[in-house]
Amino acid sequence: MSRIAARFEALRAAGRTGLVPFLTAGDPDAETTLRALHALVAAGADVVELGVPFSDPMADGPVIQRASERALAAGMTLRGVLELVRRFRESDAETPVVLMGYLNPVERMGYEAFAEAAAAAGADGVLTVDLPPEEGEGLFAALRARGLDPVLLAAPTTPPARLARIGAEGSGFLYYVSLKGVTGAAHLDPGAVAEGVARVRAAVDLPVAVGFGIRDAASAARVGRLADAVVVGSAVVAAMEAAQAAGADPAAAAAEVLAPMRAALDAGEGEP
């Protein structure tokens, strides 16, 4: 059983909703990212998503686009991201790490070389946002051969045939994009999320993590009543950005965003 599967199994057994924060590797620098990873785990993260910065992050809104720009300007690379994972693993052998990014850097490294390096570093899953499941066989096979979970996306507009393909190709968990548009979007509709999650669960036998539109403890709790896990990205990255600009500690700011969400999820607050 993979580290991701084991974590979701433990959450299910405990009757808890998972909390999955995202941050961009190298924003504002590698050392801050490493501290932020540990701070997020201490604040209640069950899985962490580590974004691989990319020059054309088309699925991301302005907050995460700026984070990618800062990370690239600071010299972060895909190999640098893997080194961060390796260093994180020196003191945390339990928290699953999902690498989230775009296909181009992975293609440049090569599927086999990337999968081998990611597994050696201690990563657990890979989510490639611009790789359709119908075109991912080569990468997915390389990942699975090394015990890594291909984590796939579904959206409100995903047709049944593609959902079936996602269920066959993906593992670990399914990331359900609750809104059309880019990361950081607002206007979360819990009723629509409930309908979408039910449709996904009818087709895919994986835990469902819902992301996009999770901005605070209240929205996390509302979605947490409907899903196996809640993903929060832009709110964490924005807090880190603001802290850096103010001369405060971005790692502490990330934890301050997450802690109230963890408390709200554990309290079962919010109405679906």
**Residue numbers annotated as active site:** 49, 60
How far is Cα 173 from Cα 131, in angstroms, rounded to an integer? 17
Length of the chain as a residue count: 272
99, 52 contact by CB (below 8 A): yes
Residues ≥6 apart with Cβ < 8 Å to 112: 142
49 strand-pairing partners: 22, 98
Q: How many CA atoms lie within 13 A of 21 on its CB side?
A: 34
Strands in 189-248 per DSSP E: 208-211, 229-232
CA angle 155, 160, 163 (to 5 degrees): 55
How far is Cα 241 from Cα 125, in angstroms, rounded to an integer? 26
Neighbouring CB atoms inside 10 A of 134's CB total: 11
How far is Cα 169 from Cα 183, in angstroms, rounded to an integer? 24
Q: How many CA atoms lie within 13 A of 156 on its CB side?
A: 14
Neighbouring CB atoms inside 10 A of 159's CB total: 8
